[in-house]
Amino acid sequence: MQIGSSSLYPSFSPINASARPLSTDVSPDLARSDLAPATAPQAAPRDASTSSREPDGQAEGSSTSRDKSQQQLRQEQLEISELSQRDREVRAHEQAHAAVGGQHAGAPTYSFKRGPDGQRYAVSGEVGIDVSAVPNDPEATLQKMEIVQRAALAPAEPSAQDLSVAATAQAQAAQARVELAQMRAEEQALGAGKDAAATDEDDQAATGSDPQQASAPPPNLDIYRRIGDLQEPMSRVDQVA
């Protein structure tokens, strides 16, 4: 915007020197000054480039700050979403172990991480499970190891540790099967011996034979022979008619 003399002198118009004679009381310098058109001093022009850069710089800084704030907010929301999903997966994983393991499994324990919103999210967990054999009872050991193996493989995506526990339970179950087979074989052999003895007793009862009588020695007849030798022979008498 230019500053003109019209604001200082609204009725300003050019004056011709011939229309206004010089007065004898006025000096030529003042007359010339009076004849010269009056103009107001003009201010130095502002640097348009400088004035335009300052608002642009402030606007640019404000825009950059807003962009950074929005980007940080998006990152926090993404982190919260990932932590929430991880929390659900971890809890479902460990609860599957505990539910199938039953009395052979402990309660789930978790490790937490605090998110940008201040909430605690489970990022890992574990469930204790008993893989020891039942003493002197291979059948109970076999049943227990089958449950432990199912519990270890219960989650949709078993971990490496889960697979290791399942392998241990499988080995224990195989050993229990061997012991159980041996025990049953011994029981069958013992039962067969008892059956054979019972069969012999039944046969003897059916025939009426007494093992003691069959084995008794014959009577001794020597004493009867000696008595016969000591007796005199009877004499015979002829009878006459």
Q: Which residues contact 112 (CB under 8 A, 6 or more apart)?
A: 120, 121, 122, 123
Integer Cα distance of 7 and 37 in angstroms: 14
224 versus 110: which is more confidently predicted?
110
pLDDT of residue 64: 78
Of 99-108, 117-126, 189-198, where does mean pLDDT reach its minimum? 189-198
19 has a pLDDT exceeding 90: no
The runs of H, that is alpha helices, within the chain are 28-35, 48-101, 138-152, 160-207, 211-214, 222-230
Question: What is the mean predicted confidence (pLDDT) over 9-38?
Answer: 41
Report pLDDT for 67.
79
pLDDT tens track for 26-75: 444 434 444 445 455 554 555 444 444 545 556 666 777 787 789 999 99
Mean pLDDT (the chain, rounded): 74
Q: Check residue 151 and give its pLDDT.
A: 97
Mean pLDDT over 73-89 rounds to: 96
The two tokens of residue 72 are: 């940080």
Distance CA 158, CA 144 (A): 20
